[in-house]
Structure 1
Amino acid sequence: MAVDDRLVKSGDLIGTPVTDAKGHKLGVIREVFVDRDAGIGRYVAVEPAGLFTGGKYHPLPWRVLTFDDKAEAYAVEITKDRFKDSPAYDRDQLAKPSHGWAQQVERYFEG
């Protein structure tokens, strides 16, 4: 696979499904957080699937995502319950690095 084949426009990431390892939809990507100094995607904020999400987004470290070409979705090796239990934040909290959400997410996904 050539490098160009792995490039994706940021706008194309928004709305991309995120699934568990079995292909069950967890939600969709609503935000991408890029390390501006390293130029590397660090987190995606996932809006959970379903009607009653409470306006909360679940940030996932980019390193836990694997793109599934067949499903055209990002897969993550966690269960739906573990995803539901992962740290969740509203847009205002995600907009403030001082809230410490990145550190909380890292602790949750260590290992």
Structure 2
Amino acid sequence: MENTQTIDRNETRETISSEKVDGTAVYGRDGEQIGSVHHLMIGKRDGKVRHAVVSYGGFLGMGEDYFPLPWNELTYDESRGGYVVNRDVAQLKEGPRYRRDEEPSWDRAYESQLTGYYGAI
């Protein structure tokens, strides 16, 4: 017997697959698109999303900068179909960022740098 209701396996009312988050637009407080979610950093032991790495600029992956944002900096806006961060591009560019070939170590010192920067501005 076929189920007449289609269940979207990538999203429920309270959860969303990381596959659907990757590529989602990220908007600044001015409403302009800053970039898009490139990937998420998830705690291995607790399973909680720690950071969304937002890609900005570049073309076809060339010249992109990546801005790791603490996950609690992003709020999903259904009307935009994307995430909103209460920051502007200038604040992101002054904060921790890296290029594709310069990925950070993601150790405790880097974590402290990220949380310290976003907690201070």
Bin of the TM-score, shorter chain as denominator length: 0.7 to 0.9
Secondary structure of the 1:83 match is helix
Structure 2, unmatched stretches of 5+, are 1-11
2:65 to 56, 65, 68: 56
**Which residue is 1:42 aligned to?**
50
1:78 to 81, 87, 92: 87
1:26 to 34, 37, 40: 34
Amino acid at match of 1:59: P
> More helix by proportion, 1 or 2?
1
Instruction: Say if 2:103 is the partner of 1:94.
Output: yes
Secondary structure of the 2:65 match is coil
TM-score normalized with structure 2 length: 0.76
Contact 1:26 1:83 in 2 (8 A): no
Aligned length: 108
Partner Cα distance (1:94, 1:50) in 2: 16
Q: Quote the sequence identity (%).
A: 26
Alpha-carbon distance, 1:18 to partner: 0.6
TM-score normalized with structure 1 length: 0.83
Contact 2:98 2:104 in 1 (8 A): no
Cα distance per residue 1:66-87 (max 9 Å; x no partner)? 0000001100011221122221
Structure 1, unmatched stretches of 5+, are none
- What do you get for the CA RMSD once the two structures are aligned? 2.3
Secondary structure of the 2:119 match is coil
